[in-house]
Amino acid sequence: MTTPRTVGFKKGERNIFFHILTACNLSCSHCYINPAQHGTATLSLETIKKWLDLFYDPQKTGNVIFLGGEPTMHRDLAAAICHAKKRDFAVTVDSNGYLFHDLLERMTPADLDFLSFSLDGPDPDINDPIRGQGVFGTCTANIKKAVTRGFRTSLIFTASKKNIDHLPRMIPLVKELGVERFFIQVIGLRGKSAQQDEGDEQLQLTREQWLAVVPKVAREVAREGIHVTYPKVFLDDTEPFSCAGIDAENYFIFPNGRVYRCPLCEDYPIHSLKIEQDCLVKNEGLTEEQFFGLNIPEGCVMNKLLQQDNIDYDEAGKPVNRISCCLIKNEITV
Ligand code: SF4
Ligand code: SF4
């Protein structure tokens, strides 16, 4: 089956994107981490456990994604995973591939639901100028090691103008590495990619570039028996618009205590929640929440505010396509 299915928000499900530190050994050109907004702290194990417990609800399915920075740089990541599993969370770790602190030796495949790796090109010539010298070799070697040891693995490719033409060459690589899932992401206008100077090469893809490459590659990867997910991005007239800030329970937690409901807001101090003295508190005043309910012809309000160039208008001034919530995905299962 290679027809994409739109994955809407699941009622009774809670997704916790937990940045346990912002430090990283790499300096990727599109990094979305913004220390001025997200802090530079490394949370202690004790704090990680307390904060995880704030989001635990036995009535709901909970998914925790441990992020950084590079989460494996945290010496207590294995213990944090163990605590999350005790609370019945499904746990994913998103790594840049370096797997510090012997993570594979300290865990068994039963301790973790998914180990996700980021790679932005099919070879060092494409990947390493984006992610760093030597990263392709280290990351692919550790993916192979994880697969051989029986860990469930996935691969994330962030598509931008720098690498979109090379996405088709990821098809044989994904197969060779033996990963179960392949995620294609679109580069956002956050962190470093939002801080480009005039004259810098623009990284954002046009609608035409995205549609010409991504759906076809996704189908071909799925034909190899690999589960593929990619953002919906554009809605046609028959498809309903839904904002995750209203219709889903996603929490993006940063080490300085900010908790966002929408990832597009993360460069701004408009987080709707914060953790203060280990308690979850609602923020007063102007926050992201005030934007979620605005009903505009373009679809996603934050996209209209931050990424206007994504939106094409017809002669009557009507958007050619509405922009979907960035958290709505197309999925091809096998
Ligand atoms: S690995 Fe992730 S956190 Fe580290 S620099 Fe790259 S994008 Fe940023
Ligand atoms: S990306 Fe847009 S639609 Fe999705 S949560 Fe944010 S504001 Fe809502």
Q: Is 302 in the pocket of ligand 2 (CB under 6 A)?
A: yes
Query: What does the pLDDT read at residue 25?
Result: 98
Dist. CA 304–CA 321, nearest whole Å: 12
With a cut of 90, say whether residue 202 has pLDDT above it. Answer: no
With a cut of 60, say whether residue 195 has pLDDT above it. Answer: no
Distance 74 CA to ligand 2 centre (A): 30
pLDDT in tens, 208-223: 889 999 999 999 999 9
Phi-psi region of 277 (alpha: psi -120 to 50; beta: other; left: phi over 0): left
With a cut of 90, say whether residue 191 has pLDDT above it. Answer: no
With a cut of 90, say whether residue 73 has pLDDT above it. Answer: yes
Give all domains of the chain, ordered by start, each with its CATH number. Answer: 5-239+325-332 (3.20.20.70)
Across-strand partners of 296? 299
Query: What does the pLDDT read at residue 200?
Result: 54
Q: Is 306 in the pocket of ligand 2 (CB under 6 A)?
A: no
Dist. CA 152–CA 77, nearest whole Å: 18
Nearest ligand 1 atom, CA 96 = 1
pLDDT confidence bin for 196, thresholds 50/70/90: low
Nearest ligand atom owner, CA of 300: 2
> Average of pLDDT values for 110-130?
98
- Neighbour-count burial for 14-35, b at 16+ CB within 10 Å, e otherwise: bbbbbbbbbebebebbbbbbbe
| Ligand 1 probe mutation, 24, 67, 266, most atoms within 8 A of CB | 24
Residue identified by tokens 């990947």 is: 127
Q: Strands 114-118 and 90-95, how do they pair?
A: parallel
Q: Is 326 in the pocket of ligand 2 (CB under 6 A)?
A: yes
Mean pLDDT taken over the chain: 93
Q: Which amino acid is at 304?
A: K
Query: What does the pLDDT read at residue 308?
Result: 77
pLDDT higher at 11 or 165: 165
pLDDT in tens, 16-71: 999 999 999 999 999 999 999 999 999 999 999 999 999 999 999 999 999 999 99
Q: Could you give the percent of the chain with pLDDT greater than 70? A: 95
Distance 115 CA to ligand 1 centre (A): 16
Angle between helices 170-177 and 207-223 (to 10 degrees): 40
* DSSP SS3 for 114: strand
Report the nearest-CA residue for atom 6 of ligand 2: 262
* Beta-strand runs (E) in 96-245: 114-118, 153-159, 181-186, 227-231, 234-235
With a cut of 60, say whether residue 261 has pLDDT above it. Answer: yes
> Average of pLDDT values for 195-217?
78
With a cut of 80, say whether residue 98 has pLDDT above it. Answer: yes
pLDDT confidence bin for 189, thresholds 50/70/90: low
> Average of pLDDT values for 62-85?
97
Residue 281, CA distances (Å) to 248, 257, 272, 278, 326 in order: 19, 10, 9, 9, 25
Distance 33 CA to ligand 1 centre (A): 7
Report the nearest-CA residue for atom 7 of ligand 1: 31
pLDDT in tens, 302-311: 999 987 777 8
Nearest ligand atom owner, CA of 94: 1
Distance 288 CA to ligand 1 centre (A): 25
pLDDT in tens, 129-179: 999 999 999 999 999 999 999 999 999 999 999 999 999 999 999 999 999
With a cut of 70, say whether residue 256 has pLDDT above it. Answer: yes
Nearest to 282 by CA among 293, 292, 272: 272
Nearest ligand atom owner, CA of 262: 2
Dist. CA 147–CA 220, nearest whole Å: 21
Distance 96 CA to ligand 1 centre (A): 7
Nearest to 184 by CA among 137, 211, 217: 217
Distance 130 CA to ligand 1 centre (A): 10
Q: Is 245 in the pocket of ligand 2 (CB under 6 A)?
A: yes
Give the CA-trace dihedral at 201, 207, 213, 218, to 10 degrees: 120
